[in-house]
Amino acid sequence: MEMLVIASIPKVLHLPQFISINQKHDRHRSFCCFGKNGESNDLSTGSFERDRDYMEVHQNQLQSINNKEEKQTDIWQLFREAQQNILYLNKQRLTAIEELDRVKNERQSLVNKIEQLEAKKQGNTRRDKLAISSELLLKIDSMVLTGIIGGREASDFRKLIMDSRGGVTDDLYDTIYKKDAELLAKLRHFSVKGKKKGFHIVHICTEMEPVVSVGILASYVTGISLALQRKGNLVEVILPKYAELNLDEVQGFREVEAQLYSYFNGQLHENKVWTGVVHGIGVTFIQPVYYSSFFSQERVYGYSNDFERFTYFSRASLDYIVKSGKQPDVLHIHNWQTSIIGPLFWDVFVNQGLEGTRILLTCQGFDSQCLEQPEKLALCGLDPSRLYRLDRLQDNKKAHLVNILKGGVVFSNKVIIMTSIQSKDQIISGLGHGLQPTLTIHKEKLLIAPRGFDKSIWDPSLDKFLPQNYSADNVNGKSVCKVSLQRHLDLPQQASKILVGCIYSDISEFDLENLKMLVWMASKKGVQFIFMGFSQSAGISTALEFFKEEMKDGNVRFIDNYDDELSHLIFAGSDILLCPSFDNLQLQVPLKALKYGAAPIAVRPADSRFRHFGDHDMEGTEFSLFINKTFAQLSLSQAVEEITKNPSEWNRRMTDAMMKDFSWDAECSDIHIRAYSSIKEL
């Protein structure tokens, strides 16, 4: 049997991808079959043409597929690289935006600091000029007291300085500390008579911040004096020279080398006169020589001879004004301590060159009036028989005594009552403390004025105690202040937390019980509380200690004493300030709260309605009208709810409040200027 040996050829030839080009193009390779005897079977190269063509086609298809896969792989690689590039570019863009924001914030911070420095510089420049003016006026007084010049020439010099606060003071700056003769020559060189532009006001009082500060009178005298002086008026202050005075901010404090005698108890008594400048305001201090013990005690008030002490000072002040040749437009007296000046002026001094002067009395309240025996009026030169009458100084209830504060009301041309909330009718009917008949008779001369605050100190856009300043136009810094306050007092640091402050100088038992209820209810909702202050009452102090023990809560903090620097941060960091009273006389919490974008809310039982505290007619203050329309009827729980549920409306309301001006320079000084204008026309 013949056997054939045939090379087997697969139908599909799988060639490796690395086949050489020579192999790929070798067209002369043949396949043969041989028989048993070696004969050829004639299977030549040509017989495999179809298979070879088939393999070439298939190989080309495989190559095409491989090329497509490579292209797809390349496309995905490019896509992934593009994604990575996009992510990188986004990251770079975000970094650039953050850097730009940082630069913008730094720039804005720098601009704010520059503006603050410029404002401070301008304020210091203005204060320096006012200080020079005041020193010039005091030098003129000294020259009158020593007989160098007469009262008429002194009056002309004062008008010159009042009308040209800037120019003349600059020219006289180098001369002010030289001899009186050189200063006088320069004054006469510049002396020109002109129409006086503002009022010349002399305060005769017992306190002035920061020289001597006991109660609310001190901040009022300084605040209103600065505000009036900023509006172009000349303001001076006369004080007793107490043994304890804060002279740190008194410029040019010195004793005047001149003798001043004043009448008391049937004789003339010598006094020493000291002068200085406080915040640009000329201040004169009167020191009794014979009655040296009058003002050498440790306290300002609270002695059995207070009537004698302040009556002596009042009479000596008037004697000083006459001898120094002053002719002020207004003698501004305060409370009962200098009310005796009213009858003294009209009965003794008005015809001693003071015919054009008028009297204005300011009362911080009517709870302290000073009742004395009628015969004691003679100590200062008054005639008791003329004044011991019901329509003059005789007390309305204790008919055997005279009432010194009543005398001030009767003999003053205008009376300003300091209150931010009450109306005139409310004071007459409910807060007169026995003076209701007198106040009713003299109702037309009564004026209501709100207290204020020093906006050069209490302004969040300029406040040096804040980590970041802010204003109604840009309140971003307020949240920074909140977090800073939380960190300082170790409270949970979160700007979204509602923070309630409470700054008090004293508090009643009723208010304390209300506080407990408010804190218990609100702290459970995550509201944070900060209490700062003290009580002069031993019983209330003990109750406050128990309150602290009861309120050992992570959201409540207590600061036992008033800290002025920290109080700025509390106003700035709080959303709400709880107020025992809207008529806060000592600390002015409601007024400052509004300026710092915090809502003043009354301390009262939760969700109860606040009593309608004023008739809000034209006799009410702008502050009372505003507070009644906005926050007077709002409880703490209602305020918290509104902040939580309607933050945009709450922020709008607080921004509107921040734009209001309740400083001394606003309504308060305007009312005083209207009063001065009115009495000068009498």
Q: What is the DSSP string of 42-100?
A: ---GGGGHHHHHHHHHHHHHHHHHHHHHHHHHHHHHHHHHHHHHHHHHHHHHHHHHHHH
Q: How confident is the model at residue 24 (pLDDT cuts 50, 70, 90)?
A: very low
Instruction: Report yes or no: 345 and 354 within 8 Å, Cβ to Cβ.
Output: yes
Q: How many CA atoms lie within 13 A of 500 on its CB side?
A: 26
Crossing angle of helices 636-645 and 509-523, rounded to 10°: 30
| Cα-based torsion angle of the residue sequence 514, 518, 520, 526 in order, rounded to the nearest 10 degrees | -160
Angle, CA 19 vertex, CA 15 and CA 23 arms, to 5°: 100
Q: At what angle do helices 622-630 and 647-658 cross, to 10 degrees?
A: 180
Greater pLDDT, 14 or 540: 540
Instruction: Answer yes or no: is pLDDT of 390 > 90.
Output: yes
CA-based nearest residue to 288, from 325, 314, 266, 307 = 314
Would the pLDDT of 346 be above 80?
yes
Question: Given a cut of 50, is residue 36 above it in pLDDT?
Answer: no
In the structure, what pLDDT confidence band is assigned to residue 193 with cuts at 50, 70 and 90? very low
Residue 439 burial by CB count (10 A; 0-12/13-18/19+): exposed, middle or buried? buried
pLDDT tens readout for residues 399-425: 999 999 999 999 999 999 999 888 999
pLDDT at 176 > cutoff 70:
no
CA–CA dist 605, 410 (Å, integer): 42
Helices (H), 501-563: 509-523, 538-550
Tell me, rounded to whole angstroms, the distance of Cα 26 from its chain centroid.
101
**C-alpha span between 105 and 526 (Å, rounded):** 32
608-631: per-residue pLDDT in tens?
433 444 444 456 789 999 998 999
d(CA 424, CA 447): 7
**Looking at residue 79, what is its pLDDT?**
79
Sign of the CA dihedral with 603 first, then 606, 611, and 612 last: positive
pLDDT tens-digit map of 575-599: 999 988 887 777 889 999 999 999 9
Strand 260-264 relative to strand 250-255: parallel, antiparallel, unpaired? unpaired
pLDDT in tens, 283-341: 999 999 999 999 999 899 999 999 999 999 999 999 999 999 999 999 999 999 999 99
* Helices and strands, counts by H and E, the chain: 21, 17
Is 51:9 a contact under the CB 8 Å cutoff?
A: yes
Pick from 666, 664, 669, 678: nearest CA to 233:
669
Six-digit token string for 451: 């207290």
What average pLDDT score do residues 471-499 get? 94
How far apart, in whole angstroms, are the C-alpha atoms of residue 140 and residue 188?
A: 12
The predicted pLDDT at position 21 comes to 39
Q: Pick from 444, 567, 457, 459: which is nearest to 505 by CA?
A: 567
Reference 344, options 423, 433, 410, 252; nearest CA is: 410
d(CA 535, CA 541): 6
Amino acid letter, 484: S
Go through the chain and tell me how many residues it has.
682
Give me the residues paired with residue 200 across strands: 234
Q: How far is CA 662 from the centre of its chain?
A: 10
Quick one: angle between helices 564-573 and 476-488, nearest 10?
130
Helices 538-550 and 509-523: crossing angle in degrees, nearest 10, is 10
Which residue in 488, 480, 475, 503 sits closest to 564, CA to CA? 503
The whole-model pTM stands at: 0.74
In the structure, what pLDDT confidence band is assigned to residue 143 with cuts at 50, 70 and 90?
confident
Rounded to an integer, the average pLDDT of 372-381 is 98
Residue 40 buriedness (CB in 10 A; 0-12 / 13-18 / 19+) = exposed
d(CA 235, CA 232): 9
Tokens of 538: 């031993």
pLDDT of residue 49 exceeding 70, the answer is no
Dist. CA 259–CA 269, nearest whole Å:
10
pLDDT above 60 (res 78) = yes
Helix axes 151-163, 49-145, angle to 10 degrees: 170
pLDDT-wise least confident of 13-17, 285-289, 430-434, 451-455: 13-17
pLDDT score recorded for residue 72: 72
